[in-house]
Amino acid sequence: MLKAFPLKLELRGAPSQTMTYLSPLLAIVLTMILGALLFLLLGKDPVAALKVFLIDPFSGKRAISELLLKSVPLILCALGLTVCFRASIWNIGAEGQFTVGALCAGAMLVWLDVPGHGISGTVGLILMICAGVLGGAFWASITALLRDRFNANEILVSLMLTYVAQLLLMYAVNGPLKDPNGMNFPQSKVFSDEFMLPMLIAGTRLHVGFVVTIVAALIMTVFVTRSLRGFSLTVGGVAPHAARYAGFSSRNALWMSLLISGGFAGLAGAFEIAGPIGQLLPSVSPGYGFAAIIVAFIGRLHPIGAVFGGLIMSLLYLGGELAQSRLGLPSAITGVFQGMLLFLLLACDTLIDYRLRWKQQA
């Protein structure tokens, strides 16, 4: 099959500058073409459908604020995963780390948000954020410990721990953290306004967490590209023998990348709880930790790339929602469309390192 294919890939001498610009554009154009075909087959006006999917989420201040808001947990988790994946530590459990971070942050707020406790909102917020970061980092440290001491593969451990984390949250909102005045529903009390994150733009839900996210991306860029620590992580991932020879400890790399990754996911969880959700519920994430894995790769494992990857994913989610309410498309189409765009983004990236050539007949 592969031999019959008329085109072949030829390695370029150096990565193509133009293609680095063009590749995402090419992917978007191809998605639009394939998407238009898909919508035609479904009996919808392709132009209208594409507009709803790709343009409507940008229409207006409110819409853009929602777009940015949705990208915050995606970007934060992806930033942490970028560090991990560069070091070839396959942390698939960001979802669990997010959940535990949210749980710890929520627990802290449940403890603090009692009238007469005397803690100010700002102090409370800071404590809550610390709780979230530490919670996420702690959860990731279990994976690190098991890999370090027992050689247990981190893919398995981090994934299993995700399910454990979700069940832990369910247990907590059904029991110890349940709102005593909540008619016995499994959820915590709604947190008071003073403990909620301040808004960035009044009248929207976009909170200061967005700024923190961007700052974090910038700091992480410096860390990854300029610091020795960051460099050692990357080398450890790409050429482990060379890394060992240079004295970079793989054990340090393991712990550092998992703790950072867990901390970021936990921070994202804390932001969700003190932001758009405002309480603890039996489920606090619609899969951010998993989506962040794709975001990290679309971002080509670079922190700034993660920001853009997060925005793209956010666009796809919101577009899909609008497609349901404005076009009557089933939610299943969102998944198909998302998958398609992701395939094309990944495929077009190949053209950076390779060029397509017609095969010479031998």
Distance CA 53, CA 22 (A): 21
Among the listed residues 1, 4, 41, 202, the single contact to other proteins using CB under 8 A: 1
- Number of Cβ within a 10 Å radius of residue 332: 10
Window contacting other proteins (CB under 8 A); options: 106-114, 125-133, 247-255, 343-351? 343-351
Q: Is 201 in the site for other proteins (CB under 8 A)?
A: no
Q: Is 254 in the site for other proteins (CB under 8 A)?
A: no
State which H helix or E strand residue 344 sits in: helix 331-353
281, burial (CB in 10 Å: exposed 0-12, middle 13-18, buried 19+): middle
Q: Is 71 in the site for other proteins (CB under 8 A)?
A: no
- Binding-site string for other proteins from residue 18 to residue 37, where x marks contact by CB under 8 A and - marks none: --xxxxxx--x---------
Residues 135-154 that bind other proteins (CB under 8 A): 146, 150-153
Distance CA 267, CA 290 (A): 16
Residues 210-229 that bind other proteins (CB under 8 A): 221, 225
Window contacting other proteins (CB under 8 A); options: 103-111, 114-122, 133-141, 324-332? 324-332
Compute the CA torsion angle 298, 62, 274, 200 (nearest 10 deg).
90
Q: Is 4 in the site for other proteins (CB under 8 A)?
A: no
State which H helix or E strand residue 9 sits in: strand 7-11
Q: Is 208 in the site for other proteins (CB under 8 A)?
A: no
* Minimal distance, residue 114 CB to other proteins, in Å: 19
* Minimal distance, residue 168 CB to other proteins, in Å: 7
Among the listed residues 30, 48, 155, 212, the single contact to other proteins using CB under 8 A: 155
Please tell me the total number of residues recorded for the chain in this structure: 362
Nearer to other proteins (CB atom), residue 13 or residue 116: 13
Q: Is 56 in the site for other proteins (CB under 8 A)?
A: yes
- Number of Cβ within a 10 Å radius of residue 335: 12
* Minimal distance, residue 118 CB to other proteins, in Å: 26
Residues 171-200 that bind other proteins (CB under 8 A): 171, 174-175, 178, 183-187, 190
Nearer to other proteins (CB atom), residue 51 or residue 118: 51
Among the listed residues 122, 242, 251, 335, the single contact to other proteins using CB under 8 A: 335
Nearer to other proteins (CB atom), residue 236 or residue 276: 276
Residue 323 tokens read as 């497609």
* Minimal distance, residue 335 CB to other proteins, in Å: 2
State which H helix or E strand residue 256 sits in: helix 250-272
Which residues, in sequence order, are CB contacts of 137 under 8 Å at separation 6+? 97, 259, 260, 262, 263, 266
Strand runs (DSSP E) across 67-195, as ranges? Answer: none
Output b/e per residue, 186-215; b: 16+ Cβ within 10 A.
bbbbebeeebbbeebeeebbbbebbebbee
Which residue has 């610091």 as its token pair?
227
Q: Is 360 in the site for other proteins (CB under 8 A)?
A: no
State which H helix or E strand residue 355 sits in: strand 354-358
Residues 74-93 that bind other proteins (CB under 8 A): 85, 90
Among the listed residues 156, 200, 201, 212, the single contact to other proteins using CB under 8 A: 156
Q: How far is C-alpha 79 from the geometric centre of its chain's CA atoms? A: 8
296, burial (CB in 10 Å: exposed 0-12, middle 13-18, buried 19+): buried
Residues 232-251 that bind other proteins (CB under 8 A): none
State which H helix or E strand residue 208 sits in: none
Residues 262-321 that bind other proteins (CB under 8 A): 272, 275-279, 281-286, 290, 293-294, 297-302, 304-305, 307-308, 311-312, 317-318, 321
Residues 88-117 that bind other proteins (CB under 8 A): 90
* Minimal distance, residue 55 CB to other proteins, in Å: 4
